[in-house]
């Protein structure tokens, strides 16, 4: 009788690399879950609010547009105003709504002195909130 050698075949070697397939599967499942739940987190709670006669709605701040064209003429909300009547018209706005914001639009060619003069009339009328309107420069790419 002969005895043979029992040869063992070498088994599979351990993997030394990370298997990416399960990791990608888990990440895709998480993405789908977040896509489904994100709109639910953003929505507000719907409430039927009670009504009361004392409740007031907030209004946007009032403003008027004061324009000085290149000839130095003044316009309030695009309506021409004589130089003598400008103070009276601005005072009327100030009496009705003292927190009115004045948006000053002046042509680029108007002398600085005229702009300061109109600003002084505005302050004299009682309107102290003045904003300067300018056009945005578009950058060339």
CA distances from 6 to 1, 2, 3, 9 (A): 15, 12, 9, 10
Sign of the torsion angle spanned by Cα atoms 13, 14, 16, 21: positive
More confident residue, 99 or 43: 99
Mutual orientation of helices 83-96 and 112-125 as an angle, nearest 10°?
A: 40
pLDDT score of 21 more than 90 = no
> How high is the pLDDT of residue 19?
81
Segments making up each domain of the chain, as ranges:
63-132
Instruction: Give 123's pLDDT tier (boundaries 50, 70, 90).
Output: very high
CA atoms of 127 and 101, how far apart (whole Å): 7
More confident residue, 73 or 2: 73
Pick the range with the lowest mean pLDDT from 8-12, 45-49, 88-92: 45-49
Judged by DSSP in three states, 17 sits in coil
Q: In what order do the strands lie in the sheet with 63-68?
A: 79-81, 74-76, 63-68, 101-106, 129-132
pTM of the model: 0.54
What CATH number belongs to 63-132?
3.30.420.270
């Amino acid at each position: 009788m002969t005895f043979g050698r029992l040869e063992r075949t070498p088994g599979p070697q351990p993997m030394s690399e990370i298997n990416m397939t399960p990791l990608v599967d888990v990440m895709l499942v998480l993405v789908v879950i977040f896509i489904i739940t994100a709109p639910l987190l953003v929505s507000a709670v719907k409430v039927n609010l009670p009504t009361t006669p004392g409740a007031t709605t907030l209004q946007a701040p009032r403003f008027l547009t004061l324009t000085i064209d290149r000839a130095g003429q003044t316009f309030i909300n695009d309506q021409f105003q004589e130089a003598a009547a400008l103070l009276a018209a601005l005072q009327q706005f100030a009496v009705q709504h003292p927190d009115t914001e004045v948006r000053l639009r002046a042509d680029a060619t108007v002398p600085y002195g005229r702009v300061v003069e109109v600003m002084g009339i505005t302050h004299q009328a009682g309107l102290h909130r003045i904003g300067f309107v300018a056009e945005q420069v578009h950058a060339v790419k």
